[in-house]
Structure 1
Amino acid sequence: MKTFLIPVDFSDVAYTAAQYAVDMATYLHASKLIFYHSYAHRPSDGYGEHATYEQATLRHLEKMTAKLYIPAALPKDQFVFIADDKPVKAGVEAIVAEHAVSLIVMGIAGLSDIENTLIGRNTMDVAKSGAAPLLIVPRNHVFKPIRKVVYATDLKDVEYITPAASIIRLAGQLGAETHIVHVDPATQGQTPEKILGKQQVLRMLEPLNPGFEVISEPKDKADGIFDYVKRHHIDLILMASRNHGFFEKLFHGSVSKKLLNIAEVPVVLLKNKPTG
């Protein structure tokens, strides 16, 4: 995890995510932090020429970082400021391609935030892009060393879907204990397909020596995952992006949407194909 990208809209939620990104980057000895703002939705009147607005936005980005707590171990010369008038999704994709971004960090406040605020809609757009792993930070969440991570899986198409290289890289760099959880109140994970899926995911993540648990009590999958997180004091939830359709469903009634709404710990959406 060498390069972090932090898209911001200067909201309180964005500040929380930016501080979390700074602290996590310090923890992981990252070499570059890119703070990015899209002004695609700026007012059309009264804000001068494009170049003037870009310069003003870059100054705002610098002022924002000045309000963050920057550990001494993270020199400010590792900060990069980028502003443009591209839609957030396009801007993020361009930066990821140019700077080999390892992790995107964004904030979210909850269900209504996803649907009704700019930072929520921007987070949704970046999730749909799948340009790089996306870490979504809950409102007011403060970074602490990540000791335990859980990978939530539905045990379907395991060999194709599981972002094993990304999970191994991230958990390994964090030095985190790895858990795998599957919520299945109907069959308790005992169908032939799911038994095979369990064997496959354990083999793929063998370097991490993960624990595996089937949760059979809650009927709601998101509640099951969240209960597990609370019981085992999990610090980070990992989920795979199944395919493009996953992102379309993510914020429209899926398990993932509810999980993002109720989670009190950050969630990382990982691409099937590993990145940087």
Structure 2
Amino acid sequence: MKNFLIPVDFSDVSYTTAQYALDMAAHLQAEQVIFYHSYAHRPADGYDEHTGYKQTTLRHLEKMASKLHIPAPLSVRQFIFLADDQPVRLGVEAIVAHYSISLIVMGIAGLSDIENTLIGRNTMAVAESGAAPLLIVPRNHAFRPIKRVVYATDLKNVEHVTPTASIIRLASQLEAETHVVHVDPATQGQTPEKILGKREILKMLAILHPLFEVVYEPGDKAEGILEYVKKHHIDLILMASRNYGFFQRLFHSSVSKKLLNIADVPVVLLKNRPVA
């Protein structure tokens, strides 16, 4: 991976997320790490519009980075600090386009955080954008080498919606064992469509030699995925992010809200195009 982007709001969640991002960037030998803050929600007074607030924000970003542990082989020379007054989604999209971002890293604290706090709403907005792969880090989660990843699939239209290249690139760079899980308490994955979907997805990911399993005991899909994660000691959950209707389909669904609320491992929302 080349360039990491860390949008921050200087909250405690931002600090723990930034530390996770630095540790992962070092592990994957990233070239640049970009710290970004949007001051679109700045106070109405107290700073000069064109110079004071931006410069103050950049100093805060530098101060934030100085409080983090910088693991080898990263160094501060690889850090870039950016700030502007655009909404977070627009600012992130512009940075992704200019710097060829491999991975955006943001944090959440749980379901209430998604719905009620600024960082939660910003994370949702960036997820809706789908500008680049987005890694969502649970509160207070420390980085550890990722040995196993799982891709959660509904086995529908897999040829068109599975981010195959991104899964292969990320799993290969992490040197991680790849699992594919389908939660289906109703049909246990035995409909003609799902049998075909399983065959196709295993063919598409064949280079990774993935392990496939259907989970059919729990009635709740999110709980089924999390049970699989715990049982197999999964370090990272992969999900597809489809741009069309993504916000409504993913974050407004009870399944995904519950998954993000109870997951104690990070979740990556992957695009169909490969990770750089």
Query: What is the TM-score when the length of structure 1 is the normalising length?
Result: 0.98
Deviation at 1:52, TM superposition (A): 1.2
Residue 271 of structure 1: CA displacement? Answer: 1.1
- Segments ≥4 residues shifted beyond 6 Å: none
What amino acid does structure 1 have at the position aligned with 2:153? T
- Aligned-pair RMSD on alpha carbons? 0.9
Distance across 2 between alignment mates of 1:242 and 1:76 = 35
Question: What is the Cα deviation at residue 50 of structure 1?
Answer: 2.3
SS of the aligned residue for 2:115 comes to helix
Show the counterpart of 1:78.
Answer: 78
Which residue number in structure 2 is paired with residue 153 of structure 1? 153
Alignment of 1:76-225 (within 5 A): 76-225=76-225
Q: Which residue of 1 aligns with 2:227?
A: 227
Change in CA separation of 1:254 and 1:3 when aligned onto 2, cut-off 3 Å: same
- 1:46 and 2:62 correspond: no
Whichever residue aligns with residue 53 of structure 2, its letter is Y
| TM-score normalised per structure 2 | 0.98
Query: How far does residue 263 in structure 1 lie from its aligned partner after superposition?
Result: 0.2
1:35 aligns with 2:32: no
State the match for 1:266 in structure 2: 266
The answer to whether the 8 A contact 1:34-1:81 is kept is yes
Measure the CA separation in 2 of the matches of 1:270 and 1:12: 26
Gaps of at least 5 residues in structure 2 are none
> In the TM superposition, what is the alpha-carbon distance from 1:275 to its structure 2 partner?
4.1
Amino acid at match of 2:269: L
In 1, Cα distance between the equivalents of 2:268 and 2:249? 16
SS of 1:180's equivalent? strand
Distance 2:275 2:157 in 1: 20
The whole-number CA distance in structure 2 between the counterparts of 1:222 and 1:179 is 16
Match of 1:241 in 2: 241
Asked whether the 8 Å contact 1:149–1:178 carries over to 2, the reply is yes
> Separation in 2 of the partners of 1:12 and 1:157?
40
CA distance in 1, matches of 2:50, 2:112: 32
Gap runs ≥5 in structure 1: none
AA paired with 1:214? V
Q: Is the 8 A contact 1:107 1:136 kept in 2?
A: yes
1:204-259 Cα shifts (integer Å, max 9, x gaps): 00010000000010000000000000000000000001342122232223422211
- Given that 1:37 and 1:82 are in contact with CA atoms closer than 8 Å, whether structure 2 keeps it comes out as yes
- Aligned mates of 2:242, 2:216 — CA distance in 1: 23
- Contact 1:241–1:247, Cα closer than 8 Å, also in 2: no
Is the contact made by 1:149 and 1:238 (CA closer than 8 Å) also made in structure 2? yes
Sequence identity of aligned pairs in percent?
75
